[in-house]
Structure 1
Amino acid sequence: MNGLKHVRPGGGFVPNFPLAKKTDVNGQDEHAMYKYLKSMCPSVERRVYTPILYSPVYTEDVKWNYEKFLIGPDGRPIYRYAQTVEPATDAQFLADVKAELDKLKGHSQQPSSAPNARIPAVG
């Protein structure tokens, strides 16, 4: 709040809407939503980064900022994407979103696939 009030935009600005607060995505204080998402979608990467600043550590943990989850209208995660995936330009991400939107519009009768990890191609 102090950053908003005194830095950007500054000038004593105080928002008149609710703000989100920091949420733990891993470790003993992880938010229930992330626990659910991680239980439904496999990790996009098996490598564990160091140093680890939380405990306990699991292979399904969110490894880095900007990992993404594609969530269906029923609240179930469909895909998990690596932090390197750029939603605006990644062909697989865009195809996955289009396929899910087509299902909602009735253009496809195929059920959503099981939750999965989308790992970007290297190179």
Structure 2
Amino acid sequence: MQTFKKNWDITSNWQLIFPFLGIIGLLGCGYFVATRIMPSSFEDVTYEYIFIYGITLVLAYVFYRFCMWVFPKLINKWNIKNRWEMIAIFIVFAITGSASARLSAPLLDIIGIDRDSMSGWFFWPLRLIIIFLFIKYY
């Protein structure tokens, strides 16, 4: 445990929540993607579960490796003192980004804009602008 704390620059026990939440987030992202790419040709539910859990673990590891590749670059660029702070920043980005993406669809529905009523050339840039506004002021 001391090695783990040293690797993540953890000085207090309360800071252990961030690596734990990071692992939960990686597994959640892996599960979300695994359920989206799951083929519908399984004959038995057991194979479905094995496929989803296997792909979830593989994707969580891929996402972890990507984060570990990005961490050193961003720590220097953002002048962050501890590695656990980077996990906290990633969690905040994930929550605000996901929330703004989820909230942009109902807002566009209220305005009366959907994919069927306008060209994709206008719909997607408009949706991205609304997402960026949510992220900035959320």
TM normalised by structure 2 equals 0.29
Highest Rg: 1 or 2?
A: 2
* Higher relative contact order, chain-length normalized (CA < 8 Å, sep 6+): 2
User: Larger % of strand: which?
Assistant: 1
User: Larger % of helix: which?
Assistant: 2
TM normalised by structure 1 equals 0.31
